[in-house]
Structure 1
């Protein structure tokens, strides 16, 4: 069975560096060694040097595909598979095949050749790699539509860089070795600028370096190599979540910056049980700092911190580790033996370890003491339980002393200690153990009623009893503490999950966060304050100036609850959010255990606040963007539709004034008619632009009165010269319709625009039909055409200005797509509606609905506010 073929790729930073020549030269070398080589597809781009390299190699004929009337050559995959060479040369790996080919992309053709056991040599430029496509476009300003997945190139057995300096490539272009002479100047001034070529060359080198690194890591994994190979400086900084983290990160970043291509990796080791005591807020700030410095943040679970850090460093092939000097107190360090830092240093091997000093060295805990996993009420209950049980046990054991041995008495007292430890924790159990030892000595050890022991065996038993009791109490207290921490961690996780869910469900982030804080900590109110020195308060925001001696003046940003605090000094709990922000809570004082969850909320509040600020900035920029779009559309309109009638009128008038030509009366009349038509078109266009600007600015003068629809329709048709007698319009408007409340002039303009629009798109011989009818308290005027219509999904978007449904549908039509926009604006201004629907039998019907006039309605009624016209849409019939 034939194995899979191998792929070799020549990678270039830009066209013209010599990839295809290098591929062809490799083909010649292999042919000379006796290998069966064919040219499956090579694109010479008319370069004689490249074409000369093809000579002497067998070329497989190309397949020709006809597409849109053009015959285009493509790789003949079937012919190459039938020829079955040992090596096939296939140029342009990222090429998109002509529709009708077997595969969409050429790299898919190459995959078929590889599956058939044929070795392939190909070429690709860095701008065609999918991961770098947008980067290259940002650098050069030229979009690249043909891309190849990075994984295809990375999977190649060999990737060879064809390198050339920018100066050498530009010289090659100047000599005409890349493009034709008529294209050289433009290419050198645009895509092939020196800076562009330098940036593309760096991208190619970095991408290839990453590809080589992936290959090296695969080799190390396959051969089980754990030793550090110093191929690149990688600095791992170990974070505890403590306050010294930022100092360590900045020091590691400076070390990484001293070497070219240095990588910064931050790692935090969390206990596998998830009960780490690190501050979530501090870790979040440190993560953001690492990423802002160009590094990456990692979280690894493990009980042995030193082993976990070293394992991570070796897995990443790190060369240096940065750790902080121990925060343990010297007393603790002396009793506890070597710490994590010393262990990492001792076991690091070839990895260099930097121990960085900071302001918190030696300021940690003095002695490890049992934490209070239980509440004060539980500890008091433990003390009472101990008193009660000992008060009952001592008399009871004294009564049956003759029937019990000393070992049994020890077990009974030990049982009391265990019960007390379960109820009250370590300290009550410790006191119970000591009291039990004294009671046993006084009442049950010879000589009784004296604190002396005559038998060494009894002395050993008492000491063992006390030690066992203390150890059991310690274990029970630790279990209670872990259970409490697990319960709290579970509650915190549920709280944060509920918070994330509320945001994902679309709730506004900042109010949702503040509400969650209030509910979680049972507070009366929660507020977000901002220091006025950092940023001015938003309009309408409340401000509170703190008296002298407090922490400055704060402005109110957002809040929830009753009487939110306006100063941090008035709050019962607070958490710094960052960027001059403070989260303040009122209602009760938070326990120390709640501060960590509050810090996590504070970090989320900071993100939500920044998100809200960005959204506000985007909203403020939206009108400017809309104005820019309108301005661009207006300029486009002026550049063509406004200039055309001006040019026609000027040409006609200039011809009439010319003394070199004697015009006949017919020619003179035609020129005058052309000038008049052009000026009429210009007048209509300027009028529409002015009307549109008035509608959008909300300053359109409106005089509402009772208007007869039949009169308005007649005047509109007469003014447009398309009355019923012309046969182009069929009118069915009954004379007995009730009057409507409208502005007669504006309504006439609406009808004229809609009729003009309908006539433009109706086929020859198909008249436009106008009908009117009453519906409830409105009168509906329908203007129907038999044209192509508009898809239903586009009907709400066709009323944008400067848009036409089909620019080339009517070659001789004028206008800039304002008819429907102005008609909609005028209709809305008169409290009416304009909608579109299908015409039975094909076409489009515009429906204008206006309210029926109330009895006694007089001219000059109230003027409603004028709604704005949409800025832009993809289609418009006008």
Structure 2
């Protein structure tokens, strides 16, 4: 009994499970408006209502057709949802009301409709998805032009770009699809009678959709889409059964291909039949244990045949097995094949050959039931008859190697010695006979081919007769019973050796299959965790070199050039593909994205076979395989293509990862830029407004203002302008840091002078603030860029002033400890919570406490402080004081080397 296809069985089970959990969706599908989708939907609803089903009309597009409106009679209609959009009241399907009512079946017209703004979902199909998840069955309608995959095709046909579309998976996943179809002439008559659109809409539709040629094309697309859906259901049902059968719903062809010249005629015939019937076709080659016996010319012929099939649009399939008929029939059932095209050589084979031997075509005809077999006759030229693989391999099967002869001799001598020992102990001759039969079995198992087993049978019969049969040491036989015994022995021996040889061949085939499967698995697995371009390429050429035992090269696109990677089979030997002529071939393959080199029709004089690594958007590189003196067989080509495909996926993934990384950086850059502009525009407004207001007041009311008020206004102008200067300095510093132009010019500076200069810059802001300065009594020199450290101190003091209370107190402390000078700026403010500590030195980060200053800041000061201190090879931290406030501490190295950093 045939085993059902696991994937198809799983798909069917999953489909059945989903139907039990979700509501059922039925789509009434048409090729244009007016074919009768809504009418059919309402008609079905009326029939179900009569059967006692709880049916509700959720939304029906307003129609002027009396026959359609009449079908609404007797059905419960949910109220629509009124949505006001741009002063227009729009009527939309009320999803919440439908979920609240929760009927067995609800009718919702226009599956692809776009909802008005303000409704929960943007598309009506999303509303329907929610209904299905709630376990409610839904009937809906849609036209073929609303399918996303067909959108561009419909636009070409009708010159109309349809904006409202649905994903194709919704059509595929629907439990039922009912095609509503009428002849285009009938539809045009309805259109002319005004039964489809109102007068204004009809004028527009008349020039686009409702042209007979357009309707015919749309109808064909709708019919094909429905047929594809039906065919998919048939395939799932067919393959999920225990016995796979042929269901000829659509034509699929198989062309049986081999190394015979007649295969080219078979391929061309299959291509013509496929074109005329619009059927897909497969070129099938069955590789048996005898395939290894093909000579160079036959391998080339096979390669040419497969290349021809690929050029003509065939899907290439290579199977393994000695029973070709069984493999062809098994695969035909799996793929639902309706026609098998096979060639037959009509050259005369001889009377006895034709009498005793049944060829593959006759066997195929005898075995198949529901598949048409097309026989393509071929007669080779005189003296050029093609020898089949079986004919070619007959001699090879009976060849015997010196190793096998040695094994044969050793086993025969050993069995003879054991037989003498057994005979000497008085055992009967039947035991000796069994020993020699064991010898035949051992020879057949431990050697290759049929010859050694047959020779062993003959030699053992002679030895048995000569050494152990009366009269001894002669080949004559006294007892006639022994004649039958020896004949049976010889038959059993030959049969045993033949069966053993076949088992060995089958074991080799299955071993090769397993090896190929393991190899493909390892290929796929090898590239999963590789993200570096060089690692991907090295892994690819290493796999190819090990699998094919050949020298490999890879040219990978880097900038505008091709970078060479190579893997030599012998490290001491130069790779023959690393030559200028070979590079030129690889260059041609790269720019043309086509296979070339040995075993191809393009640049066949090359020493290698070159295949492009084609990514999603472009050619990424080229793989070259050395094959100077031999032609690559189809299986080796499959291996190369498998590795190249995995390399292309991995390289694409790496490329997309870099693009994503750059995109994220660009997004982050834009976010920072927008944050900066927003913060600056906000923070500039307050001081500029203050300056403008103060100056305006002075100008307009100069005569009426006393000096105290004028001085107060001017002091405010001064403070605002100083704040703006500090902001601009911070912005300039940030720009220098981003561009890598922050220049640190270290000199030995007196700490006291640096602090005094920093305080002098902000003396207006600290007039009423008590500042305690603690520095060592002796003069303290520290290597630094004075201007930059002044900016750090100004920013730290300015930050403290923003977030402390009205009774602000500051403390500046400087001291030495081993190799560093430490600076501390402390305040008596509210301190900094743990969450803020993590990000306080980040750009555009501002504390959450409300400052007494209306200008809170853009969050650049502390970030710039950190960058300046790090440029001095120092470090900056912040900690809360035990009682109140926070302390910012930074350190600068004391070792002085005069340099520009």
Give the TM interval when normalised to the shorter protein: 0.5 to 0.7
Is contact 1:530–1:555 with CA below 8 Å preserved after alignment? no
**Alpha-carbon shift at residue 343 of structure 1 (Å):** 0.9
**Equivalence for 2:407:** 382
Report the equivalent of 2:440. Answer: 417
Equivalent residue number for residue 872 of structure 1: none
Task: Give yes or no for the alignment of 1:468 onto 2:508.
Answer: no
Q: TM-score, with normalisation over the residues of structure 2?
A: 0.59
Cα distance in structure 1, aligned partners of 2:285 and 2:800 = 70
Distance 1:746 1:207, change over 3 A: farther
Candidates 584, 598, 611, aligned match of 1:578? 611
Question: Who is 2:131 aligned against?
Answer: 109
Instruction: Tell me if structure 1 keeps the 8 A contact 2:775–2:813.
Output: no
Q: Any idea what SS the aligned residue of 2:359 has?
A: coil
| Range 53-62 or range 217-226, more displaced | 217-226
The CA distance in 2 between the partners of 1:238 and 1:6, in whole Å, is 44
**What is the CA deviation profile of residues 591-620 of structure 1, one whole-angstrom value per residue up to 9, with x for unaligned ones?**
x9x999987875565346545754775688
Which one of the candidate residues 529, 538, 547 is aligned to 2:563? 538
Task: Find 1:306's aligned residue among 321, 325, 337.
Answer: 325
The answer on 1:343 being equivalent to 2:343 is: no
Displacement of 1:42 in angstroms is: 1.9
User: Equivalent residue for 2:775?
Assistant: 735
Q: Which residue of structure 2 lines up, in the alignment, with residue 42 of structure 1?
A: 59
- Who is 2:17 aligned against? none
Superposition map of 1:154-193 within 5 A? 154-156=174-176, 158=178
The 5 A counterparts of 1:155-234 are 155-156=175-176, 158=178, 207-215=225-233, 231-234=249-252
8 Å Cα contact 1:372/1:481 also seen in 2? no
Answer whether contact 1:645 1:682 (CA < 8 A) is retained: no
Aligned partners of 1:527 and 1:584 also within 8 Å = yes
- Are 1:529 and 1:582, in contact at CA under 8 Å, matched by a contact in 2? yes
Q: Distance in 2 between matches of 1:423 and 1:213?
A: 52
After superposition, where does 1:777-856 map in structure 2 within 5 Å? 779=822, 795=839, 799=843, 826-832=868-874, 849-854=890-895, 856=896
The answer as to 2:85 corresponding to 1:89 is no
For 1:225-374, list aligned pairs within 5 A: 231-236=249-254, 256=274, 262-263=279-280, 305-307=324-326, 309-310=328-329, 312-314=331-333, 316-321=335-340, 337-339=358-360, 343=364, 347=368, 349=370, 351=372, 353=374, 362=387, 364-368=389-393
Q: Which residue of 1 aligns with 2:603?
A: none
Which residues of 2 match residues 121-140 of structure 1 at below 5 A? 121-123=139-141
CA distance in 2, matches of 1:291, 1:847: 73
**Partners in 1 of 2:241 and 2:369 — Cα distance?**
21
Q: Indicate which of 589, 606, 618 corresponds to 2:644.
A: 606
Alpha-carbon contact 1:93-1:107 (below 8 Å) kept: no
Report deviation, 1:145: 12
SS of structure 2 residue aligned to 1:698? coil
> Which residue of structure 2 lines up, in the alignment, with residue 745 of structure 1?
787
Question: Aligned with 1:473: secondary structure?
Answer: helix
Residues 677, 344 of structure 1: alpha-carbon distance in 2 compared, 3 angstrom cutoff: farther
Question: Secondary structure, in 3 states, of the residue corresponding to 2:491?
Answer: helix
1:150 aligns with 2:190: no
Q: 1:120 to 1:503 in 2, by over 3 A?
A: closer
Conserved 8 A contact 2:30-2:143: yes
Note if contact 1:324-1:341 (Cα within 8 Å) is conserved in structure 2. no
2:391 is paired with a residue whose SS is coil
The change in CA–CA distance for 1:504 and 1:313 in structure 2 (over 3 A counts) is: same
Q: Would you say the 8 A contact 1:833–1:849 is kept in 2?
A: yes
For 1:5 and 1:299, the matched residues in 2 are separated by: 43
Relative to structure 1, the CA distance from residue 546 to residue 122 in structure 2 (aligned partners, 3 Å threshold; closer, same or farther) is closer
SS in 2 for 1:418: helix
- Work out whether residues 575 and 602 of structure 1, in 8 Å CA contact, stay in contact via their aligned partners in 2: no
3-state DSSP of counterpart to 1:211: helix
On the 8 A contact 1:414/1:465 being kept in 2, the answer is: yes
Matches within 5 A, 1:674-823: 694-706=736-748, 719=761, 723-725=765-767, 734-736=774-776, 742-749=784-791, 779=822, 795=839, 799=843
Task: Render the CA deviation track for 1:441-470: whole Å, top value 9, x for unaligned.
Answer: 555667766656687765554444333222
Report the RMSD for the aligned CA atoms in angstroms. Answer: 7.8
1:664 matched residue in structure 2: 700
1:676 and 1:361 map into 2 onto residues whose CA distance is 104
Q: Secondary structure at the match of 1:831?
A: coil
* Partner secondary structure for residue 140 of structure 2: strand
| Structure 2 SS opposite 1:538 | strand
Give CA-to-partner distance per residue, 1:812-863, whole Å, 9 cap, x none: 989998767766655544434578x89799x999977554222x454xx241
C-alpha contact 1:373 1:482 (8 A) present in aligned 2:
no
Equivalent pairs counted in the alignment come to 781
Change (3 A) 1:259 1:709: farther
Cα pair distance change 1:263/1:459, threshold 3 Å: same
Instruction: Give the Cα–Cα distance (whole angstroms) in 2 for the partners of residues 292 and 811 of structure 1.
Output: 78
Q: What is the rounded CA distance, in whole Å, between the counterparts of 2:854 and 2:30 in structure 1?
A: 51
Aligned pair in 2 of structure 1 residues 311, 513: CA closer, same or farther (>3 Å)? Answer: closer
Following superposition, the deviation at residue 383 of structure 1 comes to 3.1
Q: 1:824 to 1:77 in 2, by over 3 A?
A: same
* Cα distance change on mapping 1:396 and 1:733 into 2, 3 Å: same
Report the equivalent of 2:97: 76
With over 3 angstroms needed to count, the CA separation of the structure-2 counterparts of 1:618 and 1:109, relative to structure 1, is closer
Normalised by the length of structure 1, the TM-score is 0.60
Gaps of 5+ in 1: 190-195, 558-567, 569-573, 656-661, 864-878
> Are the structure 2 counterparts of residues 57 and 684 from structure 1 closer, same or farther at C-alpha, using a change threshold of 3 Å?
farther
Instruction: Structure 2 unaligned segments of length 5 or more: list them.
Output: 1-20, 84-91, 209-213, 295-300, 587-597, 599-606, 613-621
For each residue in 1:34-89, what CA deviation from the matched residue of structure 2 results, as whole angstroms up to 9, or x when unmatched?
Answer: 98886542276x99999x959856555559999xxxx99544347635xx68x643
